């Protein structure tokens, strides 16, 4: 995004031609006999230039007659255009001007300009960048000592206000010092790219290496050029890059025996970094910025927060899911990094996949990924589990999803990977509010609640196809399991089961958290006579739970059923709530488990069927039908009576006439 404005202060010794340079830039011609200092000039953006050019550039012509005014202008500057014209003024660059800038505590880029160079200097050509041919910098013996001594001096250039030589280029360099700064990219003291830019460029390399073979081939380099600069790269340009890298890695060079380019394969990751280092060393760092900004990096070398976390408008009771575009992208990512094509991502493949991200999402670490979803016999996450995990992530924290989609190379607006469901509607029947049927959601959230040791953890493990284990450990931290289900008709849904652990009381008291719950799964151990009373006490303690659809589950049904030591038995309690009797299931009965998970999903789709104290709608329909039938019957009888009365009257009238 373009900056609003930048302020350039032009300074230097008296008589070096500061005002002439400004006049030559503005008027495009040399104007002799100018006043000592020109008024401040505002130059609007040329909209044919880079989109990162500032909206306005303010040029301030300084005078040495008033040191206090000069110092004030320097402190308000964004960049300094420092001008000299000969040996005497050159000596004062080091002895006076740079010392004065440091004494004022200025940390600004300085563009050093030697004016009055009236003979044109040949320009060299560039490669792999978005600039036009022609270099604006000239390395000269007099420039090298200053560049080495003062890191503030970003670049040097020779100009002539009289012949208009490189005046616009010098102005452009002042703009570029702000819009494409060198300091964040390159450490001139050690001659190396800085760590943050190395990390960013490594991520760019991984994203551009579409076949994940560790090389950028010609097609991949051309695609990068097209993405970053909107232009294609011809064979000669590619050959020039390859030759440059081959020469650098020659036995006598710095990168001897280190592979930068392999003929027939392409540029290595190290070669890509070396190429960008060359851009920085040769004053072509705008090329590197063009690459970085195409991948949404800001001046601080972090990805723009607006890109990572786009604003998504949602209603209070809406949920956010992945759209078909999002699922398609995640499928492609999985297939790309499943290099052995075994249908699972092993530890090495997962590590490669997340190399271009900050690492495993925090939510995944907190939920014991990959054991929160479907894995194969070797413990590798499957495609089914991969999509289920992202479905859960999007439902719980969609910002994590958009962030990682961008990190993984999703090139469109991240909002396109999301689907915002309609706000959940409520209806009322006999004074009781209940949730309306759902028809635009495919991800549902279920809280699994019950007394410790009732079998909740085993239920979650069974949901993921894991074998039953006799070992028991109490659940302290919340646990989560997510998997896909296919209902009748072939439609696929994702169900999230959450065991709340020690956070259960806090969550059950939190009405906002309960809004995120689509169905409650209330479990008890049918072989433990003390288990069911916990659920009865829970509903009495939190009566607002009855606003949610719920399903009662009798677990461990493979064991001997026990009479519950409670003032009311499970069947009677569910009848009192106008709910179905508890489902009896066991973690070693696969068919009953599948029936349970389908039931939970169906209840989330049709909440009214399992909302406590809600009379079944069919009863109302029957009553309505009865009264409708009664009205119809009454109407028929009424018409029949009228018809009989009228008919008898006509007959009597005819009889009297005959008589």
Of 415, 385, 388, 390, the closest CA to residue 402 belongs to: 415
Mean pLDDT of 603-619: 84
**How far is it, in rounded angstroms, from Cα 371 to Cα 367?**
8
Angle subtended at Cα 15 by Cα 69 and Cα 144, rounded to the nearest 5 degrees: 95
**How far is it, in rounded angstroms, from Cα 485 to Cα 597?**
8
Which CATH topology does 5-119+139-179 take?
Answer: Rossmann fold (3.40.50)
Q: What is the pLDDT of residue 469?
A: 73
Mean pLDDT of 342-367: 94
Domain boundaries, the chain: 5-119+139-179, 192-298, 307-423, 442-609
Q: List Cβ neighbours of 277 (8 Å cut-off, separation of 6 or more).
A: 186, 192, 193
Q: Is the peptide bond before 56 cis (omega within 30 degrees of 0)?
A: no
**What's the Cα-to-Cα distance from 150 to each of 10, 191, 436, 541, rounded to whole Å?**
18, 14, 70, 72
Q: What is the pLDDT of residue 648?
A: 57
Q: List Cβ neighbours of 413 (8 Å cut-off, separation of 6 or more).
A: 310
- At 510, the pLDDT band (50, 70, 90 cuts) reads very high
Q: What is the pLDDT of residue 609?
A: 86
| Residue 304: Cβ-neighbour burial (10 angstroms; 0-12, 13-18, 19+) | middle
- At 652, the pLDDT band (50, 70, 90 cuts) reads low
Same fold, 192-298 and 442-609: no
| Least confident residue range of 126-140, 392-406, 444-458, 645-659 | 126-140
- At 659, the pLDDT band (50, 70, 90 cuts) reads very low
Architecture, CATH, for domain 307-423 = Orthogonal Bundle (1.10)
The listed CATH number (3.30.420.40, 3.40.50.300, 3.30.750.24, 3.30.470.20) that belongs to domain 442-609: 3.40.50.300
| Residue 193: Cβ-neighbour burial (10 angstroms; 0-12, 13-18, 19+) | buried
Mean pLDDT of 580-608: 92
- At 649, the pLDDT band (50, 70, 90 cuts) reads low
**How far is it, in rounded angstroms, from Cα 9 to Cα 110?**
10
Q: List Cβ neighbours of 416 (8 Å cut-off, separation of 6 or more).
A: 323, 325, 326
- At 636, the pLDDT band (50, 70, 90 cuts) reads very low
- At 41, the pLDDT band (50, 70, 90 cuts) reads very high
| Least confident residue range of 77-91, 580-594, 620-634 | 620-634
Q: What is the pLDDT of residue 183?
A: 86
Dihedrals φ, ψ of 23, to 5°?
-65, -40
pLDDT tens for 276-305 read 999 988 878 889 999 999 999 998 999 999
Q: Mean pLDDT of all residues in the chain?
A: 87
Three-state secondary structure call for residue 118: coil
For residue 122, is pLDDT > 50? no
Q: What is the pLDDT of residue 341?
A: 92
- At 429, the pLDDT band (50, 70, 90 cuts) reads confident
Q: What is the pLDDT of residue 136?
A: 42
Q: What is the pLDDT of residue 638?
A: 54
For residue 133, is pLDDT > 80? no
| Residue 522: Cβ-neighbour burial (10 angstroms; 0-12, 13-18, 19+) | buried
Q: What is the pLDDT of residue 138?
A: 41
**What's the Cα-to-Cα distance from 239 to each of 93, 133, 198, 255, 276, rounded to whole Å?**
41, 17, 24, 19, 17
- For residues 284 and 209, the answer to whether their CB atoms sit within 8 Å is no
| Least confident residue range of 105-109, 119-123, 176-180, 612-616 | 119-123
For residue 462, is pLDDT > 60? yes
**How far is it, in rounded angstroms, from Cα 649 to Cα 382?**
87
- For residues 191 and 276, the answer to whether their CB atoms sit within 8 Å is no
Q: What is the CATH superfamily name and number for domain 192-298?
A: EF-hand (1.10.238.10)
| Least confident residue range of 230-244, 467-481, 497-511, 600-614 | 467-481
Q: What is the pLDDT of residue 130?
A: 47
Q: What is the pLDDT of residue 51?
A: 65
pLDDT tens for 210-264 read 999 999 999 999 999 999 998 888 889 899 999 989 888 766 667 766 789 898 8
Mean pLDDT of 182-190: 85
- At 635, the pLDDT band (50, 70, 90 cuts) reads low
pLDDT tens for 6-35 read 999 999 999 999 999 999 999 888 888 888
Confidence (pTM): 0.82
């Amino acid at each position: 995004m373009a900056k609003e404005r930048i302020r350039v202060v032009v300074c230097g010794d008296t008589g070096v031609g500061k005002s002439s340079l400004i006049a030559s830039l503005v008027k495009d011609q040399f104007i002799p006999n100018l006043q000592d200092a020109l008024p401040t000039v505002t130059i609007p953006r040329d909209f044919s230039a880079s989109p990162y050019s500032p909206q306005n550039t303010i040029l301030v012509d300084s005078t040495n007659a008033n040191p206090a005014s000069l110092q004030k202008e320097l402190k308000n500057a964004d960049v300094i255009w420092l001008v000299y014209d000969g040996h005497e003024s050159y000596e004062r660059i080091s002895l006076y001007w740079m010392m004065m800038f440091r004494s004022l505590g200025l940390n600004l880029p300085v563009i050093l300009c030697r004016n009055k160079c009236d003979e044109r200097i040949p320009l060299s050509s560039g490669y792999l960048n978005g600039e036009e041919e022609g270099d604006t910098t000239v390395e000269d013996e007099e420039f090298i000592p200053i560049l080495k001594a003062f890191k503030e001096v970003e670049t040097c250039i020779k100009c002539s206000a009289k012949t208009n030589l490189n005046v616009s280029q010098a102005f452009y360099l002042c703009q570029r010092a702000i819009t494409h700064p060198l300091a964040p990219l390159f450490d001139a003291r050690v001659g190396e790219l800085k760590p943050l830019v190395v990390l960013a460029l490594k991520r760019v390399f991984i994203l551009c290496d579409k076949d994940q073979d560790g090389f950028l081939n010609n097609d991949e380099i051309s695609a990068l050029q097209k993405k970053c600069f909107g232009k294609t790269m011809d064979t000669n340009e590619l050959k020039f890059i390859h030759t440059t890298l081959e020469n650098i890695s020659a036995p006598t060079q710095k990168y001897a025996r280190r592979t930068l380019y392999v003929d027939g394969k392409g540029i290595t990751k190290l070669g890509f970094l070396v190429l960008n280092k060359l851009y920085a060393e040769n004053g072509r760092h705008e090329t590197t910025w063009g690459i970085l900004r195409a991948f949404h990096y800001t001046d601080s070398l972090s990805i723009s927060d607006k890109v990572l976390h786009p604003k998504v408008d949602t209603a209070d009771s809406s949920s956010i899911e992945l759209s078909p575009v999002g699922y398609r992208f995640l499928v492609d990512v999985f297939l790309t990094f499943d290099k052995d094509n075994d249908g699972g991502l092993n530890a090495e493949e997962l590590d490669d996949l997340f190399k271009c991200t900050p690492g495993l999402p925090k939510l995944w670490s907190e939920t014991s990924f990959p054991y929160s979803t479907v894995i194969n016999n070797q413990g590798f996450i499957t495609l089914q589990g991969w999509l289920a995990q992202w479905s859960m992530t999007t439902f719980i924290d969609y910002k994590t999803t958009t962030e990682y989609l961008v990190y993984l190379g999703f090139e469109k607006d991240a909002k396109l990977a999301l689907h915002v469901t309609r706000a959940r509607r409520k209806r009322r029947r006999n004074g009781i509010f209940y949730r309306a049927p759902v028809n635009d959601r495919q991800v549902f959230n279920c809280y699994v609640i019950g007394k410790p040791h009732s079998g909740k953890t085993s239920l979650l493990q069974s949901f993921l196809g894991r074998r039953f284990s006799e070992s028991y450990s109490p659940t302290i931290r919340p646990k989560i399991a997510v998997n896909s289900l296919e209902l009748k008709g072939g439609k696929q849904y994702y169900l999230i089961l959450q065991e709340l652990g020690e956070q259960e009381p806090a969550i059950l008291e939190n009405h906002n958290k309960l809004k995120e719950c689509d169905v409650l799964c209330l479990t008890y151990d049918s072989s433990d006579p003390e288990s069911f009373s916990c659920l009865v006490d829970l509903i009495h303690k939190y009566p607002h739970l009855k606003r949610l659809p719920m399903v009662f589950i009798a677990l461990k049904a493979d064991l001997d059923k026990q009479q519950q030591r409670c003032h009311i038995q499970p069947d009677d309690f569910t009848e009192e709530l106008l709910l179905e009797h508890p489902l009896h299931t066991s973690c070693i009965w696969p068919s009953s488990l599948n029936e349970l998970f389908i039931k939970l999903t169906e209840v989330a789709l049709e909440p009214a069927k399992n909302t406590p104290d809600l009379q079944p709608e069919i009863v109302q329909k029957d009553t309505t039908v009865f009264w409708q039938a009664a009205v119809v019957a009454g109407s028929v009888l009424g018409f029949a009576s009228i018809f009989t009365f009228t008919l008898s009257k006509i007959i009597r009238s005819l009889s009297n006439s005959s008589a």
